[in-house]
Every structure is written in structure tokens, then in C-alpha cells.
Amino acid sequence: MGRSIAFIQMRSGAGKSTCCAQLAATLAAARPELTVTVVDASLHADATHALVGGMQEPLSDENEHTSRGEEIVAAYPGRTTFALINALANLAAAEDERAAAAAARPSWGRYLGYGRRADVIDERTPPPLNETNFSFGEFCIAPAEAHAVGRAPRNLRVVAGGPELASVAGGVERAERAGKFLSRVISSTGEEHILFFDTDAELGERAASAFALAAAGEAALVFTSNWADALRFVRDPINGIEIALAHYAARAGSSTCESGLVSKIVFTQIAKHRNEPSGFPSGGPECFGFKPVAAAARNAENIARYVHERASGDGPLRPHVRGADGVDFDTFVEQRVLGLPAFPETVLAHSVLYGIPIACMAPADGVSAEALDAAKEALDHAARRIV
């Protein structure tokens, strides 16, 4: 049974790519029975590089303007989100054409009893879509095989992002059709499968982000614990996340969004006071696996309260956010809110530079054992809550 989560926010720098890559790797390491796939729908491909090769210098001097991660991805042509969207969109269009042609075909054989009833029905009915006639794995890179330095879990896969996603043919509508087609593929498989989608900030403008939202069954709304995110959420009349969610729901239709797209609220880059479990300053559940400084905790609580209030009753976020209406704030936090600290510079930089997920790093990589243990503990806590 498949499950898909898209990481979304309407501004850059909130930590979507870091959340997506690091939580996917942590979950894969903790649960080897799962197949965990990162579908990078971002032009920047930060999640791809964090898991495949990293941002270090290339393997040779021939491609001085590339990174090691870009060289490794180039060695696997066609295993990209760009190729995946086009393949799915073409299949979806072919299925539509086949169904339309079958519907227009005369069906006299079934009524005249010429022994053709079964044949006619078979021709008019598109075959069921599942992994027997579409192999999602053909578009995936296995970091454990492609990048030996990374030491990634063997059950972790990546579909690479990149700048070519800016030129997806057919625009948002075609990309969303491809996303819905992928959702059918994943839901049809019998294996334990979870997809994490990274997205660009321009949710309403990027075809690749529209693909991710259509394919994902739910979304994690990513905030930092500062008021820049809150102000963008509340006041931006053009690019606010409320506006983006409303536009998406209008395009997707009530059947797609009947339970609300946003299932989790994720706070990132939180300044940590000390490594003790803590909830918000006013009490309540322990939504973080660490104790944030007072200002960060206070801002995170205020943002979470704002989301809870606007997703309750007749609030404008009620159609988009799950689990808020009819429950108190503490219950909402317990079920829907999680957080990641600001990782030590040396730990995160080493991970991104060399393409080694934090969950797979060791003190031998040249980082502090204490800092690494704290980062892994926070990721483990968040990975358990995200699913």
C-alpha cells in the first residue's frame, strides 16, 4: 500500500528540501521493510544532491561547472522527475484516447449475439493501471548503488530533480494529470511504499510542483519559527500559502481534497536550548524531541495556533488542513505538529557536501559525536511523527 507526502511552502529557505531528504533517509534506515522514494520536483534539485553525490567538486576536471551529484545523476539518463512526468502524461493521454475511441465504437456485436460480447467489452474497457504495466522503479536511482560514499539505506530511492523541470510541456494541467496517474500506480502496488515529494516555492506556477501535489495524498506544510513565515502565510495577497491551497483545491476538485491536503505542520531550523523533550511554552504535548529556546518555541506556538484557529469551524483553512476542526489545540499539536532543530553547521554541511544523509553519518566522517547523536535523535523523533 502506497503513501505520498509533499513538502510545501510558498517561500524558499524554509527547509523543504532538508526535511524531505533527511526524513526520507532516516525513515528508510529505521524501517527496512519500507521502500522510501524521494521524488524531487524542484528545479534546484537540493534534495537530489543531498542524497546522490552531494555538492562537492566533480569526479574529474572535464566538467568544472558541475557537482559530483550532477555527474552521478547524468550517469542515469531518464531517471528524473522530468522524464517521469512526461512518461506518465503520455500514458494518461493514451488512456484517454483509447477510452474515447472505445466509447465511440459501434457496439452492435453485444446486442446481436454474434459471440462477440466479451471481445467488445474487453476492447471498450481500459486495462487496470498498476505496476504490471508501468514500472515506476525504472525512473529511480538507488543512492546505495550509485554513490558508494553515501552509505544510503538500500531501500531508499531518488527520482532526480533539475532545471529541465522549468520546461515541462503542457503546463500545470498536463502535469497534474500525470500526478494523478502516478497516484494510481503507487496505490495499486502491494508493497509498503512511501513517497516524499520536494517542491519549489511557486506552487501555483510550477508544473512540477502541481505534479507533486496531484500525486501526493497529503502535504507537510513547512515553517521556520520566525514571523517571516507567519506574515507570508497571513498577509501576502498573491503568493500566500492560503491562496495557493485554495487555488489547488479549486483545480483538483472536492473528491481529491475532501479530507484536506495538509496533514502535518513541520517547523524547521529551530534554535535549540538543550537536548530535553519539550512542548510549547504554555504546556501541552511534546511535539519536538528537543527543547527550543523560548523565542523560537513561542513563535512556533503562535503560528500553530493560527493554523488551528483558521482550520476550525468556518475558518478558511478548514477545507485544506486535517485534524483541526472539533479538537482542542493540544490534541491538534500532538497529532499534527513536529519539528527539527537547526542542525550544527558541521553536520549539515558535511551531509550536503558529500551526499551522506545524517542518519548514515558516523563520527569518523569528521563531525562531533555529540552533535551527530543529537541530530539523529531529533530526526528519529520527527520521522516517527511524519508517518
Per-residue pLDDT band for 113 (boundaries 50, 70, 90) equals: very low
Q: Find the mean pLDDT for residues 183-209.
A: 81
The residue behind cell 479549486 is 250
Q: How many domains does the chain have?
A: 1
Asked whether the predicted pLDDT for residue 234 surpasses 50, the reply is yes
User: Mean pLDDT highest for which of 157-161, 171-175, 196-200, 308-312?
Assistant: 157-161
Average pLDDT estimate for 234-261:
65
**Residue in 361, 334, 339 with CA at minimum distance from that of residue 350:** 361
Mean pLDDT (whole number) for 243-250: 73
- Compute the mean pLDDT over every residue in the chain, rounded to the nearest whole number: 82
| pTM flag (> 0.75) | yes
Q: Which of 366, 359, 360 minimizes the C-alpha distance to 381?
A: 359
C-alpha cell at 59: 569526479
Lowest mean pLDDT among 141-150, 175-184, 210-219: 141-150
Mean pLDDT across 322-349: 92
pLDDT at 308 over 90: yes
Highest mean pLDDT of the ranges 84-88, 225-229, 273-277: 84-88
pLDDT band at 276 (very low <50, low <70, confident <90, very high): low
The answer to whether 86 and 164 have CB atoms below 8 angstroms apart is no
217 against 266, higher pLDDT: 266
Domain that holds residue 370: 2-386
Q: Look at residue 249 in the predicted model and tell me its pLDDT.
A: 72
pLDDT over 60 at 152, yes or no: yes
In CATH, what number is assigned to the domain containing residue 27?
A: 3.40.50.300
How sure is the predictor about 153, in pLDDT bands with cuts at 50, 70 and 90? Answer: very high
Q: What is the mean pLDDT of residues 179-200?
A: 84
pLDDT at residue 23 tops 80 = yes
| Per-residue buried b or exposed e for 73-109, using 16+ beta carbons within 10 Å of the residue's own CB | beebeebbbbbbbbbbbebbeeeeeeeeebeeeebeb
pLDDT tens-digit series, residues 124-142: 444 555 445 678 889 999 9
Give the DSSP per-residue string, 53-116: T-SSPPSSSTTTTS-HHHHHHHTSTT-BHHHHHHHHHHHHHHHHHHHHHHHHS--HHHHHTSS-
Q: Is the pLDDT of residue 7 over 90?
A: yes
* DSSP line for 28-59: HHH-TTSEEEEEEE-SS-HHHHHHTT-SSPPS
Task: State the pLDDT at residue 381.
Answer: 92
| Residue 285 predicted with pLDDT over 70 | no
Phi/psi of residue 248, nearest 5 degrees: -65, -45
- Rounded mean pLDDT of 265-282? 73
Identify the pLDDT of residue 262.
92
